[in-house]
Amino acid sequence: MKTFEEKWTAWLDGQLSRRELSEFEASLPDKAAAQAEKAEAKKLGELLKRELSAHPLTNEEFFSHQLRERIVQESREPAGVGIRRSWWTIPRLLWAGAASLAVFLIFTFAVMHEQNPAEESQYLTQILNARVDPVVSPNATVSIFEVKQDRVTVLWTEGLQSLPADYAAK
Amino acid sequence: MQTEATLAQSDVSELDLVKRCQAGDTEGFDELVTRYRTRVFGMIYNMVHSEQDAWDLAQDSFLKAWKSIGRFRGQSSFYTWIYRIVMNVTIDWLRKKQIKGGGAEFDDTIQLTQIDPASKTVPKTEPLPHQAMERDEIRARIEKAIAELSPEQRAVILMKEIDDMQYHEIAEALGCSIGTVMSRLFYARKKLQNLLRDVYENV
Average pLDDT value for residue range B144-168: 93
Contact yes or no for B33/B89 (Cβ under 8 A)? no
Residue type, B122: V
Q: Which domain holds residue A143?
A: 123-169
pLDDT category, A167, cuts 50, 70, 90?
A: low
Nearest CA-CA distance, residue B178 and chain A, Å? 9
* Separation between Cα atoms, residue A93 and residue A98, nearest integer Å: 9
Contact yes or no for B51/B114 (Cβ under 8 A)? yes
Give the single-character DSSP code of B69: G
Task: Report the range of poorest mean pLDDT among A52-56, A96-100, B78-82.
Answer: A52-56
Q: Is the pLDDT of residue A122 over 80?
A: no
Contact yes or no for B46/B158 (Cβ under 8 A)? yes
Does the residue A66 lie in any domain? Answer: no
* Separation between Cα atoms, residue B43 and residue B158, nearest integer Å: 7
* Separation between Cα atoms, residue B189 and residue A41, nearest integer Å: 7
The pLDDT assigned to A116 comes to 61
Question: What average pLDDT does the structure give for chain A?
Answer: 79
Task: Work out whether strand A123-125 and strand A141-147 pair parallel, antiparallel, or are unpaired.
Answer: antiparallel
* Separation between Cα atoms, residue A24 and residue A6, nearest integer Å: 11
Residue A83's CB: how many other CB atoms inside 10 A?
11
* Separation between Cα atoms, residue A133 and residue B162, nearest integer Å: 111
List domains and CATH numbers for chain B: 7-104 (1.10.1740.10), 129-203 (1.10.10.10)
A47 touches chain B (CB under 8 A): yes
Q: Is the pLDDT of residue A164 over 90?
A: no
- At B184-193, the pLDDT tens digits run 999 999 999 9
Does the residue A148 lie in any domain? Answer: yes
Does the residue A113 lie in any domain? Answer: no
Contact B58 A68 (CB under 8 A): no
**A106: exposed, middle or buried (Cβ count in 10 Å: 0-12, 13-18, 19+):** exposed
* Separation between Cα atoms, residue A10 and residue B160, nearest integer Å: 12
* Separation between Cα atoms, residue B43 and residue B61, nearest integer Å: 12
Helices (H), chain A: 4-12, 18-27, 31-52, 60-76, 81-84, 90-115, 165-169
Contact A47 B197 (CB under 8 A): no
Question: Strand, helix or coil at A147?
Answer: strand
Does the residue A28 lie in any domain? Answer: yes
Q: Kindly report the pTM of this predicted structure.
A: 0.64
Please name the residue of chain B whose CA is at the shortest distance from the CA of residue A75.
Answer: B67
- State in Å, rounded, how far the first CA of chain A is from the last one: 109
pLDDT category, B88, cuts 50, 70, 90?
A: very high
Say how many domains are in chain A: 2
What number is the ipTM of this complex? 0.74
Question: Strand, helix or coil at A152?
Answer: strand
Does the residue A59 lie in any domain? Answer: no
Residue among A132, A142, A141 at smallest CA distance from A164:
A132
Nearest CA-CA distance, residue B23 and chain A, Å? 14
* Separation between Cα atoms, residue B134 and residue B128, nearest integer Å: 10
Contact B42 A63 (CB under 8 A): no
A26 touches chain B (CB under 8 A): no
Contact B45 A55 (CB under 8 A): yes
Does the residue A160 lie in any domain? Answer: yes
Length of chain B as a residue count: 203
* Separation between Cα atoms, residue B199 and residue B141, nearest integer Å: 8
Does the residue A142 lie in any domain? Answer: yes
Residue among B98, B94, B102 at smallest CA distance from B45:
B94
Give the single-character DSSP code of B120: S
Please name the residue of chain A whose CA is at the shortest distance from the CA of residue B187.
Answer: A5
Does the residue A145 lie in any domain? Answer: yes
Residue B81's CB: how many other CB atoms inside 10 A?
21
Contact yes or no for B29/A67 (Cβ under 8 A)? no
The pLDDT assigned to A138 comes to 72
A40 touches chain B (CB under 8 A): yes
Task: Report the range of poorest mean pLDDT among B69-83, B90-104, B183-197.
Answer: B90-104
